[in-house]
Amino acid sequence: MTAVASLLEASPEGVEQDVARAYELVRAFDGDKTWSEADDPHAEFAALRRRGPVHRSTLERVFTGADVAEETATPVWHVVSFAAAERVLRDEDAFSSSAYDDNMGQVIGRSFLQMDHQEHRAWRNVLHSGFNRQAVLAHRQQVRSAVASRLSSVAARGGGDLVADVAFPVALTTIARLIGLPPGTRIGTLYTWAVGLLDDPGGDIAATVRRALETPSAWTRGSLVDRLQGAGNPAIGSGSQLLPALRLLLSTGTEPPFRSLATLMYAALTDSSVPDLLRTDASLAPAVFQECWRWECPLTWVLRRCTTDTELSGHMIRRGELVCVNLASANRDETRWSHADRFDVRRTPLPSLAMGTGPHTCLGRHLAAVEAHELLSEILSAVTSTWTTGWTLDTDGPSGRGFRSPRRLDIRFHTS
C-alpha cells in the first residue's frame, strides 16, 4: 500500500479528505451509466407484477432495463411479487447464495455472502455478537455526535450536499469503527478498493491489509475483526484469510446504509407528514424509517442459484438456473400494501424485504436502525431549532436501478 500513501497512517484531516475522494468515485460510478434512467423503474416493476409474480428474463434486461443480443444474454428468473420473493429468500435448500460466486466473488473473493447452511451460520453466529441490538446501541452516541457535527459543519459553510457531507461519511466511519480499523486508516481508499472502484494493480493495498490482519493487536478489542480472529473456528480461519470478509463488511456496511440515510433525509425534508408525525409522537420514528426502507429499498435485488428443480408460482425453475429477487418490486406489492407506491408514514406497519428475510437476513439491520434513528432525530432537531433563518433543498429525489437513493441533496441556508 506504500504507493497509496500510508494506508494506516493519516491525520484526521487526511482521513476526511480520503472519505471525500471516495464519495467522488461513488458519484462518478452512479453517473457512468450506459442506459437511461429517466423513467422510474417502479412503473416497469408494477407492470410485471400485474402480469405475474415470476418472469423469464435476462440478467442484462433486469439490471439495465434494456435487451442485449440473445447470444450474449444471461438467462434469469425475475421474481417480482412479495410472496414469491419471500419464499425464495427463506428457502436456502432450493435457492443458494452461491449465485454471487460469479460477480461479487470475483471482486472480493469468497465470503460468507456466498455461503449457505452450516458454513454460513458459523460466520453469522460470530458476527451477530457484534451486530446484535445491544452491541450496536453502544455506538449510538457516537453516531449521533457524528451526524450532529456534520450537519453543523454544513450549516456553518452555508450549505452543502447532505449525501456527500453527511450520509456517506456517517455510514462509512460507523462501519469502519465496528470493523475495528485503527484510527488514521484511510477508510475511503479501503472502501473504494473493497467494492472494486479503485484498482490495485501492484497488490499494494491487499498486501497492507493482509499484514494488518496478521497482526491481531492492530484491531480494536471487541470489534468485528477481533471477534472473527478469536473465533477459533477452522471454517472461519484467521489472519489474512479474513480479507474477503473485511471487504464485504466495508461494502455492505456502507453502500446500502448511506443510500437509505440519503432517502430518509429526502423524506424528512420534503414530506411535512414526517415532522408532523414525530412532533405528535417521537416514538414513531421507527415507523418512519421502516416505511422509507420499504418505499425506496436502497438495494433493488439479490441473487440466488436454484439447487434442485423447484416449482415457483407456477414455473419450474431448473437446477443451476439463476434467480433474481427484486426487493424493490416486492416491497411495493399491491396485494400486501394498499397504495404501495405512496410514502405513507401513517400506514399500518408490515415487515418488508428491505433487510431480506430467512437465513441471509441482513446482519446490519440493528445498526441501520440506530443510524436512521439518530440521523432522523438530529435533522429534525436542526430544522426546528438551528436552521431558523430558512433553507432551500435542490434534489431530483431517489433515482437508480440497482441502487436507489437521491444522488444529491444540495441544501443552501438563507442569511438572516
What averages of pLDDT result for each successive group of 10 residues across the chain (416 residues)? 58 94 93 55 96 96 88 94 98 97 89 96 96 96 97 96 98 97 93 94 92 92 96 93 96 97 97 92 93 96 98 98 98 97 93 96 97 96 89 94 94 87
* 302 CB-near residues (< 8 Å, 6+ apart): 89, 324, 325, 327, 356, 360
Instruction: Answer yes or no: is 138 within a domain.
Output: yes
What's the half-sphere exposure (Cβ side, CA atoms, 13 Å) at 114?
Answer: 17
Give the dihedral of Cα atoms 92, 93, 96, 98; nearest 10 deg.
Answer: 120
Tell me what pLDDT residue 32 has.
58
Tell me what pLDDT residue 34 has.
43
Total domains in the chain come to 1
The pTM score is 0.95
Instruction: Answer yes or no: is 19 within a domain.
Output: no
Tell me what pLDDT residue 7 has.
75
Domain that holds residue 317: 33-181+219-413
Instruction: Answer yes or no: is 234 within a domain.
Output: yes
CATH number for the domain harbouring residue 161: 1.10.630.10
Tell me what pLDDT residue 33 has.
54
Instruction: Answer yes or no: is 361 within a domain.
Output: yes
Tell me what pLDDT residue 312 has.
98
Tell me what pLDDT residue 75 has.
96
Instruction: Answer yes or no: is 26 within a domain.
Output: no
Give the dihedral of Cα atoms 317, 319, 325, 329; nearest 10 deg.
Answer: -10
Instruction: Answer yes or no: is 22 within a domain.
Output: no
Tell me what pLDDT residue 180 has.
96
What one-character-per-residue DSSP string does 250-297 give? HHHTTHHHHHHHHHHHHHHHH-THHHHHHHH-GGGHHHHHHHHHHHT-
Instruction: Answer yes or no: is 266 within a domain.
Output: yes
The H-or-E segment that residue 109 falls in is none
What one-character-per-residue DSSP string does 32-86 give? --SS---S-HHHHHHHHHHH-SEEEEEHHHHHHSS---GGG--EEEEE-SHHHHH
Instruction: Answer yes or no: is 359 within a domain.
Output: yes
The H-or-E segment that residue 298 falls in is none
